[in-house]
Amino acid sequence: MAKKTAFKKSELKTRREELEVERASLLGQVADLDAEADVNNWREGGFDDDPADAGSASFERETAQSLSKHAKNLLTQIDDALRRIDAGTYGICERCKEHIEKERLEVIPYARLCMDCKRRDETGR
C-alpha cells in the first residue's frame, strides 16, 4: 500500500491549477451540451415531422442532457475540492480523517475518501 502523506504547498498549487483547467473545460462542455439539448435549437434546425427525425432528435437531446448532468456533477466535485484546498483539508479523507493516497488523487483529484473508505462504501461494510 502506498504511503499516505500530506501535500506540499507547491503540490497544492499545481493541483489547484489542474482543477481550474478541468473546471474551465467542463464549463465550456456544459454550455455546448445545454445548447445541444435546447428544444428550440432542434425546432429551428429544420427537422420536420418525420418520426425518424423526431426520434433521432429526441435521442440526441436526451444524450446531451445526460452528459450535461454528468459534467455539472463533476463541476460540483471540483468546486468542493477547490474549497478543501482553501480550507487546508484537501487530501484528507472525509470519513476516517487519514490522508488520501496521492496516487488516488492523481487519478481522481476531487476524491473525498481514501481507498479503504471508498471500498467500504462500495461493498456496504
pLDDT tens digits for 22-61?
999 999 999 999 888 886 665 555 555 556 666 777 788 8
| Ramachandran category for residue 97: left, alpha or beta (phi over 0 → left; psi -120 to 50 → alpha) | left
- 59 domain residue, yes or no: yes
Number of domain units in the chain: 1
- 2 domain residue, yes or no: no
- 86 domain residue, yes or no: yes
- 68 domain residue, yes or no: yes
Note down the domain range covering 74. 9-123
- 38 domain residue, yes or no: yes
Other CB atoms within 10 A of residue 114 CB: 23
pLDDT at 1 (0 to 100): 43
d(CA 54, CA 39): 11
pTM comes to 0.79
- 30 domain residue, yes or no: yes
Residue 19 sits in a domain of what CATH number? 1.20.120.910
